[in-house]
Chain A
Amino acid sequence: MTLSVTQCLLAATDEHREIADFQVGVPRWCNGCGDNAILTAMQRLCRDEDLAPERTVFVSGIGCSSRLPHYMRTFGFHGLHGRSLPIAEGVKMARPDLKVFVSTGDGDCLSIGAAHWIHAIRYNMDLTVLLHDNRIYGLTKKQASPTSPIGTKSNTTPKGSYLEALNPLTVTLGVANVSFVAQVVDWIPELLYQVISAAYRHKGLSFIRVIQRCPEFMPGLFDPWMQDPQRTMLLRHPDGVVPSAELSRTYRNQRDHDPRDLASAREVASLEDPIPVGILYSNPTVPCYEDTRHAGAVRTAEQVRRGLDAELDKFTIRALEPAVG
């Protein structure tokens, strides 16, 4: 069957979706919470990439960040605290045809789910992972998280937290098979979107740390950075992010950084102030675990029967011997 050009165009137009097509429910996040910015960027991405909602899965753990799937009109899996990554890996392994996104928080990913985080990097499955890092536990009402700055006063550390904050970027960049690492801040939506878009298009696990505000429990934490654009450093590269002229007018502190350069990425990752934003590392040649394991291979009943019979043959004892003696 052939279609006229007009019909094709009509069909194409019909399938085009608006942002509203990906919206559902009313987010229950606080005013000014960085999660709202991430949700908006995700919905915009789904529209711009024209993702089929039924073939898109948002997986999350537990925490404020992990409410995100509930606000996406796609398939979603709001899982267990810390376990979003292995759930997402299972989804992807069973169904490599699905687009899988993961939303996880600093407690979810870097504390209770730390083992899964390290190993997810190593598996390098084609997932887009957003670390919603507000540097505090929100849903459980203000306890220090692994990324809380030392001295953070919280309900479990009333005299200030005792330990230096963990740097998720340097850790991630130290894991074998790392293939995409980026950092953005929730208050630069243009960059947030650009980076998420690049992460989505990257084949492999893309790990994006989104530094985000928690006005409820960490009010004003990032004010010095928001007030002084010089304390944010834009990483620019033709293979990474090319900031718009408008963005460049505000954020003049820029650095040329080749995202293929792992050593340089590690150096940039260790910077705390100014905050480096953009794509730190991108290497599309790292093999994806689901490809290595031949996920999604077609299997037929005949194949299973033959496989089983071949195995049973090995263990079958032939027709029994006549009685001894």
Chain B
Amino acid sequence: MSGPALVELATPKRATRIDEQIVEIISDSGEGAQRCGQSFAAIAARSGHGIWTVEIIPAEIQPPARSVAGASGNRVRFGSRPITNGGDEVDLVVAFNEQVLLGRVRAGELRPSATILLERMWRDDRDPSIARSYAAAYDELVAQGYRVIEIPADRECRRLVPDPRRGKNMFVLGMLCSIYSFDLELAREQVALTFGKKDTKVIATNVKLLEAGWAWAEENLDLKYEMPSMPATEPQIVVNGNTALALGVLASGMEICAMYPITPATSASHYLSEIFERVGGIVHQAEDEIAACTFAIGASYAGKCAVTITSGPGFSLKQEALGLAVMAEIPLVVVNVQRGGPSTGQPTKPEQGDLLQALFGTHGDAPKVVFAVSDIEDCFYAMITARKIAETFNTVVVVLSDASLATAQQPFRRPVFSDDWLVPPVDQSEIPAGAKPYDWDPTTGLFRRFIPGQSGGMHTVTGLAHDRDSHVAYDHKSNEEGLRARSLKLAALQRTLRCPDVYGEPDGDLLVIGWGSTKGAIEEAVDRLRSEGQKVSSLHLRFIQPMPSGIGDVMKRFARVMTVESNWSDPTDHPLIDGENRRYAALAMLLRSRYLVDVDCWTDVSGRPIKPSRVADAMRAKLTETTR
């Protein structure tokens, strides 16, 4: 064989102790890197490590093989402490071909001198152009200072299976388990779980591949790490954000989910479709987004609060229907798993671009509750909270997630089911004579909704302006009374909310405010700056409409305030941009208008989960900026 030696010097191994690591496994679509990454993460979690995984997804179902844009796989960040985000740059990457690897290198995802384990089969490819491109990439990467180790995964797997394209991933999994000193027996169990639905022969083959990868790495690699684990307390579950959402829907007592397929929200409905019927629930795939929303409204109207799950474009289509639910005061839970926009935008990429749409997207004054989830556990409990608020306040509750939470995995304490999560039976009691269907409480705007089946409760709800009898009313008094009541409900809810705790000290030089999926990255950046001696803290908002009291007081205790968001804001260093025309990030705009505080913003729309190092850089820059 030609080319560099397959392996580096095999010396007796002494494991290097590490506290944290970021590993990526990438391949062409369909080669199983995602499954490898998920299994690896599960083994890491079961070994007592904190984990966070990020899916690397090409935009197409079958992108061309060996293409720079076609990388499919998983990033796994694991550590000896809880991990709250995907982190910065990769320490070690396993690539099934050099092209998908180049995609990651060019995107700046690898740290300098990162270790690369690269499938070497391409070096001897019959197609000379492939062999050439492999050799060129190899040389380029070595020249850039990466530690490139060529691995003969294809050759080794061929000894065990006829088609190494199916199976290489488990070989790599075995390798990684060896490198990170994971328990091989635990890995075998995980493989059995991963292929649990398949027959025992499939499991046995994959276990063999796993063991082969392990043995090969033990014999041929001088990479060996070990990581202290955290003491176990309670059972944990490991799921991604969309699965957590679906589990939350099930736990919330809701019985109907109406949806229309849209990336990156659909996987929540996929999983729900699999499990919902067993507990008497129904996932209805409607003919379009509007039908999904109005179907859910019909179900809610009839007494069973329903949920519709979508993403940005679908959320836009639902806006008129959301206004109807607000106007007729029908409970409804809407989940928007945000993606890059506008228009079709970046369907598989995370962005927090829909906050203002969630608050103001409906025509007229349509107050609704909007809150954002910030980690995987949140995705689960959000559904229970949302349903309860929707029914208590007879209103629309919008839950904002995004593409980075949708596919990210993070362990959390296993939920313990409570009967309180469920809904009481549909109220079919008689309505006393003279009771009005919109008997708005003058203080809170709340009223008791009459459900079909309640004798004496007959009335027609309408999206037209109406009075307390639900009669169409165009007079100004009725119109104002309705508007006031619907608005007051938000104030009533707001009185029950608590300001989130400040992360870090209660005062200082800089406060960073965030919302949604950026929480982990922001708090990690705060930790880094505090360890540098900077007086920085962060505040992470859950409820954005209504916003809890006390945020203004928190802001006053800091010299500078800045939001960190994953949406667009104009850069201040552009010649056309000044204080008069700068377009601020969504939350910054809201905070500025409510509190009259000069809230700055730093935003990232790279289509990647926000990185703690970039947040830290932005904070450092803000700290050195002279006060305006």
Using a CB–CB distance below 8 Å, which chain A residues touch chain B?
A: 25, 52-55, 57-59, 69-70, 72-80, 83, 85-95, 97-98, 115-116, 118-119, 293-295, 297-299, 301, 303-312, 315-325
Contacts and interface: CB of A to CB of B under 8 A. Distances in A.
A75 B431 CA distance: 13
A70 B297 CA distance: 19
B452 A57 contact: yes
B247 A311 contact: yes
Given A83-B294, A90-B302, A304-B279, A116 B287 contact: yes
Given A77-B460, A78-B462, A87 B295 contact: yes
Interface in B5-39: 15, 17
Nearest to A80: B324
Given A98-B452, A304-B417, A89 B47 contact: no
Contacts of A57: 302, 452
- Interface core residue of B45, B253, B282, B294 (most chain A CB under 10 Å): B294
Given A119-B291, A304-B279, A325 B417 contact: no
A93 B282 contact: yes
20 contacts: A57-B302, A69-B460, A70-B462, A79-B463, A83-B291, A83-B294, A87-B297, A90-B295, A93-B299, A94-B298, A94-B306, A95-B426, A115-B288, A294-B280, A301-B422, A305-B419, A315-B237, A316-B414, A317-B236, A322-B229
Contact of B459 (A59, A76, A88): A76
Contacts of B205: none
B286 interface: yes
B128 interface: no
Nearest to A297: B280
Contacts of B299: 90-91, 93-94
Given A70-B460, A94-B298, A308-B251, A324 B226 contact: yes
A295 B229 contact: no
A119 B284 CA distance: 12
Contacts of A89: 284, 295, 298
A20 to B, nearest CB: 14
Nearest to A90: B298
A119 B452 CA distance: 25
A301 B40 CA distance: 36
A192 B232 CA distance: 73
Interface string B448-464: 00001111111111111
Nearest to A84: B294
A325 B457 contact: no
A293 B284 contact: yes
B76 to A, nearest CB: 15
A31 to B, nearest CB: 20
Given A86-B294, A320-B230, 15 more contacts: A54-B456, A54-B457, A70-B460, A78-B464, A80-B294, A90-B300, A90-B302, A91-B302, A97-B453, A304-B250, A304-B253, A308-B250, A311-B247, A317-B238, A324-B228
Contacts of B102: none
Interface stretch (B178-186, B400-408, B603-611): B178-186
B46 interface: yes
B294 A319 contact: no
Nearest to B279: A307
Interface of B: 15, 17, 42, 45-48, 181-183, 186, 226-232, 235-239, 243, 247, 250-251, 253, 255-256, 258, 275, 277-282, 284, 286-288, 290-292, 294-304, 306, 320-321, 324, 328, 411, 414-415, 417, 419, 422, 426, 452-464, 471-472
Contacts of B304: 94-95
A53 B459 CA distance: 10
B456 A90 contact: no
A85 B452 CA distance: 17
Contacts of A317: 42, 45-46, 235-238, 411
A316 B237 contact: yes
A38 B228 CA distance: 76
A90 B297 contact: yes
A264 to B, nearest CB: 29
A58 B15 CA distance: 73
Contacts of B457: 54, 75
Nearest to A298: B280
Contact of A319 (B17, B232, B291, B295): B232
Given A94-B256, A94-B306, A98-B453, A79 B294 contact: yes
A90 B284 CA distance: 9
Contacts of B459: 75-76
Contacts of B298: 59, 77, 86-94
A323 B253 CA distance: 39
B295 A93 contact: yes
Nearest to B235: A316
A92 B294 CA distance: 13
Contacts of B186: 321
A78 B243 CA distance: 36
B44 to A, nearest CB: 10
A312 B415 contact: yes
A281 to B, nearest CB: 22
Contacts of A319: 232, 235
Contact of A315 (B182, B239, B462): B239
Contacts of B181: 324-325
